[in-house]
């Protein structure tokens, strides 16, 4: 695909990711803050309600496989992307109304009502997470459908950079819609600001989704999918046969495990980074909040540049190793900064660690898009999305658990040694992930999957 056309297509598709980034700010940022701080809802209930969306990541596999088999108006991915987006935008509005309903019960001091309404909010976010799965997994498969393998590093750089752009823009626009509530912090102003936000945000997001995907997917009759080779089944297999086909290449299980290890290691520091800044460097709450911006800025630079500079020259496997080695080394720099008490070195280490993390993230995403089959792209990407979602959640929880475990041995959770143990383990995990990804062979994977389809066709003919 010509570079200007690929750039425009990437920016257009990136609007979808920007929409998801903006909504993540509003749900996990704004709603979480309001429930716990302004509306005095117990943190455990708020975490249960808002975190429920991650519990349904297993549905990604099913929705991905269903999009592989869809033929509505000659389209496979677009019906799921648009239908899922309509659902999660509506559910976002319902969740926002329920947040305000929870606030009413909290202000009235009705604990039983708070509990019941938080449980309802939990159900809404379970449905919200399911709608995200129904839309986001076919969207990832669409990226495979409309591009060649050589174009995907650039596509990944732009589309996932737009995710970060959406987070930043979402935060800015949210503060605008909340208006005076940010200044006077009065409850009526806060409620009015949230009402404005939940009215406008779903409409804007759904408009972005339509702009991003309508007309991008070519109908199957005139589309890109390659005609099957002689003897290969022409119809996509059902759900259980698709899962059996996943076992056709041992690399599927191998990459699943390595992807879990990489994602687990990448987010092991998520729950300990800000406490580390407070305990070791004496930073205030506001100052530690800004640490995530430093890490995020480095990650954005890493993701944005890797598809243009590194993957085309080194390939995704060696790029993943380079990124893992960089991230591991800069994590050790963060540990040294704590040992020396150097705040400037700590901040520089965070930016550099973010860059290394962005490099290996881009490489792993490129591998995810390469380890698919045109007829089972949704199924494969559902499996890879499942690995990422659960490994990230486990990694976030494990970071805090490891801090408590080591802290009980070396003199407390807030000791330097306890924090250093988390960062050292994280660096080892990232370096090991990069080494293990060198063994992934995308060409052999494609050959084995085609052979599996041929065996399936032969079995059907018998």
Give the pLDDT confidence of 84-100 residue by residue, as tens digits.
Answer: 999 999 999 999 999 88
Average pLDDT over residues 230-245: 52
State the total domains in the chain.
2
- CB neighbour list of residue 154: distance below 8 Å, 6 or more residues apart: 6, 7, 10, 307, 308
Q: Are residues 201 and 333 in the same domain?
A: no
The rounded percent of the chain whose pLDDT value lies above 90 is: 23
For 221, phi then psi, to 5°, come to -60, -30
Measured between alpha carbons, how far apart are the two ends of the chain, in Å? Answer: 41
> Is-contact 321 430, C-beta < 8 A?
no
Please tell me the predicted confidence (pLDDT) of residue 233.
44
Q: Are residues 205 and 148 in the same domain?
A: yes
Please tell me the predicted confidence (pLDDT) of residue 381.
80
- CB neighbour list of residue 384: distance below 8 Å, 6 or more residues apart: 255, 256, 259, 368, 371
As beta bridge partners, residue 75 has 72
Q: Are residues 420 and 324 in the same domain?
A: yes
Where does the pLDDT of residue 134 fall: very low under 50, low under 70, confident under 90, or very high at 90 and above? Answer: very high
Please tell me the predicted confidence (pLDDT) of residue 318.
93
Q: How far apart are CA 122 and CA 112, in angstroms?
A: 15
Q: Domain boundary residue among 214, 246, 275?
A: 214
What is the span of the domain harbouring residue 268? 235-462
Q: Are residues 432 and 310 in the same domain?
A: yes
Q: How far apart are CA 367 and CA 384, in angstroms?
A: 10
> Is-contact 84 136, C-beta < 8 A?
yes
Q: How far apart are CA 311 and CA 229, in angstroms?
A: 30
pLDDT at 180 over 60: no
Give the pLDDT confidence of 12-40 residue by residue, as tens digits.
Answer: 999 999 999 888 877 866 777 677 666 77
Please tell me the predicted confidence (pLDDT) of residue 225.
46
Is residue 227 in some structural domain? no
- CB neighbour list of residue 265: distance below 8 Å, 6 or more residues apart: 395, 426, 428, 429, 430, 432, 433
Average pLDDT, the chain: 81
Q: How far apart are CA 163 and CA 317, in angstroms?
A: 23
pLDDT at 458 over 60: no
Name the 3-class secondary structure at 57: coil
Token pair for 403: 């801090």
Q: Domain boundary residue among 181, 214, 247?
A: 214
Token pair for 383: 């499996």
CA distances 204 to 69, 90, 110, 180, 434, Å, are 30, 12, 35, 22, 39
* CATH (domain of 307): 1.20.1250.20
Q: Are residues 143 and 272 in the same domain?
A: no
Is residue 182 in some structural domain? yes
Most confident region among 75-84, 101-110, 171-180, 305-314 by mean pLDDT: 75-84
As beta bridge partners, residue 310 has none
Q: Are residues 251 and 133 in the same domain?
A: no
Q: How far apart are CA 424 and CA 404, in angstroms?
A: 15
Is residue 356 in some structural domain? yes
Residues 26-55: b if buried by 16+ CB within 10 A, e if exposed: bbeebbbebbbebbebeeebbebbbbbbbb
Is residue 35 in some structural domain? yes
Q: How far apart are CA 111 and CA 117, in angstroms?
A: 10
User: Residue 329 class from Cβ within 10 Å (0-12 exposed, 13-18 middle, 19+ buried)?
Assistant: middle
- Whole-prediction pTM value? 0.75
Please tell me the predicted confidence (pLDDT) of residue 236.
55
Q: Which residue has the higher pLDDT, 294 or 249?
A: 294
Is residue 401 in some structural domain? yes
Q: Are residues 186 and 113 in the same domain?
A: yes
CB atoms within 10 A of CB 408: 11
Longest dimension (CA), the chain: 75
Is residue 339 in some structural domain? yes
- The DSSP 8-state label assigned to residue 73 in this structure reads T
Where does the pLDDT of residue 234 fall: very low under 50, low under 70, confident under 90, or very high at 90 and above? Answer: very low
pLDDT at 179 over 80: no
Q: Are residues 259 and 324 in the same domain?
A: yes
Q: Are residues 285 and 154 in the same domain?
A: no
Give the pLDDT confidence of 248-263 residue by residue, as tens digits.
Answer: 667 778 888 898 899 8
Q: How far apart are CA 157 and CA 272, in angstroms?
A: 28
Q: Are residues 173 and 286 in the same domain?
A: no
Give the pLDDT confidence of 304-355 residue by residue, as tens digits.
Answer: 888 888 888 888 899 999 999 999 999 999 999 999 989 999 999 999 998 9
Token pair for 96: 């926002």
Q: Are residues 132 and 22 in the same domain?
A: yes
Q: Are residues 196 and 265 in the same domain?
A: no
pLDDT at 296 over 90: no
Please tell me the predicted confidence (pLDDT) of residue 223.
45
Please tell me the predicted confidence (pLDDT) of residue 227.
42
Is residue 229 in some structural domain? no
Q: Domain boundary residue among 155, 179, 214?
A: 214
Is residue 219 in some structural domain? no
pLDDT at 205 over 80: yes
Please tell me the predicted confidence (pLDDT) of residue 165.
81
């Amino acid at each position: 695909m010509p570079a200007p056309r690929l750039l425009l297509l990437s920016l257009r598709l990136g609007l979808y990711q920007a929409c998801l980034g903006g909504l993540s700010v509003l749900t996990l940022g704004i709603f979480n803050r309001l429930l716990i701080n302004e509306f005095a809802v117990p943190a455990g209930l708020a975490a249960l309600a808002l975190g429920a969306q991650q519990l349904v990541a297993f549905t990604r596999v099913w929705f991905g496989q269903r999009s592989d088999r869809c033929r509505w108006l000659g389209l496979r991915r677009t019906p799921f992307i648009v239908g899922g987006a309509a659902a999660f935008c509506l559910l976002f509005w319902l969740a926002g109304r329920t947040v305000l309903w929870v606030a009413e019960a909290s202000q009235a001091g009705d604990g039983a009502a708070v509990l019941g309404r938080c449980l309802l909010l939990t159900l809404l976010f379970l449905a919200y997470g399911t709608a995200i799965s129904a839309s986001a997994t076919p969207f990832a498969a669409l990226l495979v459908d409309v591009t060649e393998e050589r174009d995907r590093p650039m596509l990944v750089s732009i589309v996932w950079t737009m995710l970060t752009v959406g987070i930043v823009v979402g935060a800015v626009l949210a503060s605008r819609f909340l208006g005076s509530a940010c200044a006077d912090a009065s409850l009526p102003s806060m409620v009015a600001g949230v009402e404005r936000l939940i009215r406008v945000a779903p409409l804007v997001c759904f408009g972005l989704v339509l702009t991003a995907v309508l007309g991008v997917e070519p109908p199957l009759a005139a589309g890109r999918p390659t005609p099957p080779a002689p003897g290969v089944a022409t119809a996509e297999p059902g759900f259980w046969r698709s899962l059996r086909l996943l076992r056709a290449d041992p690399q599927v299980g191998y990459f699943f495990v390595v992807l879990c290890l990489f994602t687990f290691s990448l987010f092991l520091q998520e729950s300990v980074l800000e406490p580390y800044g407070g305990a070791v460097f004496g930073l205030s709450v506001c100052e530690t909040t800004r640490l995530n911006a430093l890490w995020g800025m480095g990650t954005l630079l890493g993701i944005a540049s890797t598809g243009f500079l590194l993957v085309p020259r080194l390939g995704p496997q060696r790029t993943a190793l380079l990124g893992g080695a960089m991230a591991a080394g800069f994590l050790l720099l963060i540990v040294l900064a704590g040992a020396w008490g150097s705040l400037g070195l700590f901040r520089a280490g965070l930016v550099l660690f973010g860059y290394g993390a962005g490099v290996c993230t881009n490489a792993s995403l490129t591998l995810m898009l390469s380890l698919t089959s045109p007829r089972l792209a949704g199924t494969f990407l559902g499996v890879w999305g499942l690995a990422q979602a659960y490994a990230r959640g486990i990694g976030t929880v494990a970071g805090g658990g490891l801090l408590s475990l080591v802290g009980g041995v070396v003199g407390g959770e807030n000791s330097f040694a306890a924090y250093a143990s988390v960062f050292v383990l994280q660096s080892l995990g990232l370096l090991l992930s990069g080494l293990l990804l060198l063994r992934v062979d995308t060409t052999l994977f494609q050959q084995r999957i085609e052979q599996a389809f041929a065996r399936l066709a032969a079995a059907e003919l018998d």
